[in-house]
Amino acid sequence: MINLDFKSKAFWSDGFGSLVLAGLVALFIRWAFMEAYVIPSRSMLPTLLVHDHIFVNKFTFGLRVPFSENFLYKTSGPKRGDVIVFKNPEDPSIYFIKRTVGLPGDKVYYESGNLYINDELVEKSIPDENKSDYRWLTPEDFVERSLEPYIHWEEKLGKYSYSVILPKDEFKEEEAGPYIVPEGHYFMMGDNRAYSKDSRRWSPDKRFVPYENLLGKAMFIWLSCDTVLPVIPICNPLSLRVRRLGHSIH
């Protein structure tokens, strides 16, 4: 029989009340501090793979009023290079994850794989394959099983160095911008530049992500797999990418 004596200490420590408290604590943590998300697309390859399960720090941008878009307080916002989960400006019911490229007031221009911030080319280099995120695109860890189709380099933006890829067979002269990021907004791009629908490709009146749409900063991968189970959409334990577990996102 369930103990419903709300005044009883045992109700809150050992009874049904302990389950209620545990549920409230979990909801509080999810609302204020941290939430889990699953990567559904290839737009952030090779930094994030499809079926990567990540934790996102929601407290990093402030604290919202429960069940509201309003903030109790705000922080200074994301830095250049931060990987951010946010509500799509064109459809806020859809959540996206991209890299913060432009801050308020920045001039952003992209041309054929070259990214310019305030008229300066973002630093590019040939990566050390043993240290780069590109190491995950290997026969053991990547479903397409090949490195050959990609042009690959490493960019340095803010305090982050990260891998960027473009498919060789779809590489073309692409130009976007220049754009001036308005106050209180951010310019977002995916690391898989050809397959990312981001600030370059959204409608002109929804091109930039407002602060109110920011949900949190990606922290680390807690689970990753190549495939999900056919009936229940959870990770297939036979296809776990064990080496990615605990991998920090940068």
Query: Per-residue pLDDT tens for 98-152?
Result: 999 999 999 999 988 899 999 999 998 876 655 445 555 544 434 444 556 777 8
H helix or E strand, kind and range, residue 183? none
Query: Quick one: pLDDT band at residue 66, thresholds 50, 70, 90?
Result: low
Q: What percent of the chain has pLDDT over 90?
A: 37
Range 81-97 average pLDDT:
94
For the cut 60, the answer to whether the pLDDT of residue 7 exceeds it is no
Q: Which amino acid is at 15?
A: G
Q: How far apart are the first and last CA of the chain?
A: 50
Residue 250 — very low, low, confident or very high, per pLDDT cuts 50/70/90? confident
What lies within 8 Å, CB to CB, of 52 at 6+ separation is: 38, 39, 221, 223, 224, 244
Contacts of 7 (CB under 8 A, 6+ apart): none
Q: Nearest 5°: phi and psi at 181?
A: -75, 125
Q: What is the DSSP letter of 12?
A: H
Give the rounded percent of residues in the chain with a pLDDT score beyond 70.
73
- Of 57-71, 163-177, 226-240, the range with the highest mean pLDDT is 226-240
Domain spans, the chain: 34-221
The answer to whether 198 and 90 have CB atoms below 8 angstroms apart is: no
Q: How many residues does the chain have?
A: 250
The helix or strand, by DSSP H or E, that contains position 120, with its residue range, turns out to be strand 120-121
- Confidence at residue 9, expressed as pLDDT on a 0 to 100 scale: 57
Catalogue the active-site residues: 43, 98
Question: In the numeric block, which tokens belong to residue 164?
Answer: 């960027």
Task: Report domain 34-221's class.
Answer: mainly beta
pLDDT class for 79, splitting at 50, 70, 90?
very high
Residue 35, judged by CB atoms within 10 A of its CB (0-12, 13-18, 19+), counts as middle
Determine the pLDDT at residue 116. Answer: 96
More confident residue, 242 or 67: 242
Element (DSSP H or E) covering residue 31: helix 16-32
pLDDT at position 87 over 90:
yes
Mean pLDDT to the nearest integer, 209-226 = 91
Contact 95, 37 (CB under 8 A): yes
Residue 37 pLDDT > 50, yes or no?
yes
Q: What digits encode the pLDDT tens for the residues 183-213?
A: 999 999 999 888 899 999 999 999 999 998 9
Whether the pTM exceeds 0.85: the reply is no
Here the tokens at position 49 are 């793979």
The pLDDT of residue 28 is above 50: no
What average pLDDT does this structure show over 67-84? 81
Q: What is the rounded distance in angstroms from the CA atom of residue 218 to the CA atom of residue 57?
A: 6
pLDDT at 80: 94
**Between the CA of residue 224 and those of 22, 111, 133, what are the distances in Å?**
27, 33, 15
Mean pLDDT of the chain: 80
Between the CA of residue 244 and those of 136, 149, 224, 240, what are the distances in Å? 8, 23, 7, 9
